[in-house]
A = this chain, B = another copy of it.
């Protein structure tokens, strides 16, 4: 099935709920997609699903390699999943071994935020920057850091854990074992929790609305004082985390992606302002802030990019 002459790449994005896939040409053009509920009850069920997905996407003309984005920590050499909290069936499994033989193609894997960062750097909001951070804003908050054009993974693949920088030593306990992490405030549950608490005592146009970052940002933009406070608390928490990244690394690009980034420019500008307050003028001036551009495709295109980069090593 692996036809070395075929220059197409399968990108798979394994999420806690869905498996997304795409077949991608060397320019990054998506030539076919797949989106299904992930079968994560057992490793065997998941591998069978992944194999079917690869065969479907590769089709009769085949593909050159497979890249996989994993919601967890990946050892890149062997594509071994160190730990994937939301897909525990994969814990400890090395995709580059058996599964590579099973589909007859080289398999490469990386963390999903790293994959999305690579996609944005390749074709989206990160184009033209060699030192950037892609911050994924969702239920959790992760990042992919690109230095000199390459993902920085660190010693065990844990690099990019911006969501666990501490903002408030007296803050809420976080799943990571620390407390008051960026994620406890600016992850989606943090937005909702803070809004619900405010609505217990204060009037707001948000009352009766479905509480999610997008509606809260829209209300803030329309002048709702409670909503604006919630937005600015999120922006400030992210300002501490992104500010730390810029003070440490003096990057030239910050790309905001993930579902929450869909709230748009208003949120982006508040976050940039929160970073500005916490960085040297030059460090802030060096960094362009941009919203991610590939939205739904970032994960699968980034996974394909992981395969392309892996092959070129």
Question: Which residue numbers of A lie inside 8 Å of B, CB to CB?
Answer: 73, 82, 131, 143, 145, 147, 152-162, 164-167, 169, 176-178, 236, 240-241, 243-245, 247-252, 277-283, 286-287
Determine if B243 and A280 form an interchain contact, defined as CB atoms under 8 angstroms apart: no
For A158, what are the chain B residues with a Cβ–Cβ distance below 8 Å? Answer: 247, 250, 280, 282-283, 286
In the bound assembly, the distance between CA atoms of A155 and B250 in angstroms comes to 6
Determine if A152 and B281 form an interchain contact, defined as CB atoms under 8 angstroms apart: no
In the bound assembly, the distance between CA atoms of A280 and B166 in angstroms comes to 12
**Least CB distance, A275 to chain B, in whole angstroms:** 10
For A240, what are the chain B residues with a Cβ–Cβ distance below 8 Å? Answer: 165-166, 169
In the bound assembly, the distance between CA atoms of A176 and B246 in angstroms comes to 14
For A162, what are the chain B residues with a Cβ–Cβ distance below 8 Å? Answer: 247-248
User: What does DSSP make chain A's interface, helix, strand, loop or mixed?
Assistant: loop
Instruction: Give the number of times this chain occurs in the complex, counting copies.
Output: 2
Determine if A248 and B156 form an interchain contact, defined as CB atoms under 8 angstroms apart: no
Given contacts A166-B243, A248-B249, 8 further A-B contacts (CB under 8 A): A82-B282, A147-B147, A154-B251, A156-B282, A158-B282, A177-B280, A178-B278, A178-B279
Determine if B155 and A147 form an interchain contact, defined as CB atoms under 8 angstroms apart: no
**Least CB distance, A8 to chain B, in whole angstroms:** 32
Knowing A156-B283, A156-B286, A283-B158, the reply to whether A247 touches B164 (Cβ < 8 A) is: yes
Other-chain residue from B147, B159, B236 in contact with A250 (beta carbon distance below 8 A): B159
Q: Which of A154, A245, A247 has the most CB of B within 10 A?
A: A247
In the bound assembly, the distance between CA atoms of A155 and B148 in angstroms comes to 11
Other-chain residue from B160, B250, B251, B287 in contact with A157 (beta carbon distance below 8 A): B250
For A154, what are the chain B residues with a Cβ–Cβ distance below 8 Å? Answer: 131, 249-251, 283, 286
For A153, what are the chain B residues with a Cβ–Cβ distance below 8 Å? Answer: 250
Shortest Cβ distance from A150 into B: residue: B148
For A278, what are the chain B residues with a Cβ–Cβ distance below 8 Å? Answer: 164-166, 178
